[in-house]
Amino acid sequence: MVSKVRRPAPSPSRYTNRTRLLAAVLVFILLGSGIAVVLANVGNEPDAEEAFVPTDCPTADRSGAPVLDFDRPPPMCIGPSGDYTAVFDTTEGEVKVRLDPDRTPNTVNNFVVLANYGYYDDTLLFRLDPTIAIIQGGSPHTQDWSDPGPGYNIPDEGGLFLPLTNRSVQGPFTYRPGQLVMARSAGLNSSGAQFFFTTGPEVAALDAQGSYIVFGETDATGLSVLQGIMDLYRVNPGSPYGGGPSREVTVRSVTIIGG
């Protein structure tokens, strides 16, 4: 088995001005058309010689150094009929999420494997957006939306996904407070590792798209913690998101229970 190596976070120079400009134009066009977007940058891949080959499943005790870069999607590591709960230990409290492997087995498997490799440890919940009631995270390389991800994408699942003429995707999901959802870019099969929590009824604005894969749901206690995090939001014109939390909110770890 290949040894597990955590690389230092790349410098901002790794992401070209052209990449950032194109992303900014995409966001401007989509927002101008009234479409809410939850973007995850998946256009960059780790260097091949530094990527980890996930031929085995990580241990649930999360032993070993965290792994951030992979050269392919992980193998199927979850059982065919298991109950899985993801426990987010955040600086604002604990959020327990019951995962949904029945509807979204590949998405749940991907999240469980990344969590057990320590991918989400010490990562920021970097984006709060009260207009659509989401809290976004899952970016260990850059701690923002531009993170290149784990080095691969995962397939869409959970229903029918249709490509639209504007290069976006129409999917089968609807949204309500308390869900754990995958972020994505505009195209088909474009999720990787970034996720977001839903915290209020405003998230129903995403129903028109329905393409963000819902793969878990928290309870009333977890939702209360998430809403407390959203209460930290402050407008900041200098932020690329228009604002953010009044203090940093960190996911210390994600522990998977069950199986």
> For the chain, how many structural domains are there in total?
1
Pick the range with the lowest mean pLDDT from 59-73, 124-138, 150-164.
59-73
The pLDDT of residue 9: 38
Quote the CA–CA distance of 249 and 56 in Å, as a whole number.
32
Pick the range with the lowest mean pLDDT from 9-18, 85-94, 166-175, 223-232.
9-18
| pLDDT of residue 30 exceeding 60 | no
| DSSP assignment string, the chain | -PPP-PPPPPPGGGS-HHHHHHHHHHHHHHHHTT----B---S----GGG-B---SPPPTT--S-----BSSPPPP-S-TT--EEEEEEETTEEEEEEE-TTT-HHHHHHHHHHHHTTTTTTEE--EEETTTTEEEE--TTTSSTT---SS--B---SS--EE-TTS-EE-S----TTEEEE-B-SSTT-B-S-EEEE-SGGGGGGGGT--SPEEEEE-HHHHHHHHHHHTTEEE-TTSTTSEEESS--EEEEEEEEE-
Percent of the chain topping pLDDT 70: 80
The answer to whether position 137 is within a domain reads yes
The answer to whether position 209 is within a domain reads yes
Q: For residue 60, which amino acid is it?
A: A
The pLDDT of residue 185: 92
| pLDDT of residue 171 exceeding 50 | yes
The answer to whether position 1 is within a domain reads no
Pick the range with the lowest mean pLDDT from 4-18, 54-68, 82-96, 124-138.
4-18
The answer to whether position 191 is within a domain reads yes
Q: How many other CB atoms are found less than 10 A from the CB of residue 41?
A: 22
* More confident call, 3 vs 221: 221
The pLDDT of residue 82: 84
- Share the mean pLDDT of the chain: 85
The pLDDT of residue 36: 54
The pLDDT of residue 41: 62
The answer to whether position 240 is within a domain reads yes
Which residue range is the domain that position 157 belongs to?
38-258
Q: What is the pTM of this model?
A: 0.83
CATH at residue 123: 2.40.100.10
Q: What is the dihedral of CA 122, 86, 3, 105, to 10 degrees?
A: -130
The answer to whether position 3 is within a domain reads no
| pLDDT of residue 97 exceeding 70 | yes
23 strand-pairing partners: none
81, with CB counted inside 10 A (0-12, 13-18, 19+), is: exposed
Q: How many other CB atoms are found less than 10 A from the CB of residue 161?
A: 18
User: Region 70-85: what's the mean pLDDT?
Assistant: 91
| 14-23, 35-44, 207-216 — most confident range | 207-216
| pLDDT of residue 81 exceeding 90 | no
The answer to whether position 2 is within a domain reads no
Q: Is residue 51 very low, low, confident or very high in pLDDT (cuts 50, 70, 90)? A: confident
| 25-34, 47-56, 245-254 — most confident range | 245-254
Tokens 């530094």, residue located: 50
The answer to whether position 18 is within a domain reads no
The pLDDT of residue 12: 34
* Residues 6 or more apart in contact with residue 126 via CB below 8 angstroms: 136, 137, 139, 143, 144, 145, 244
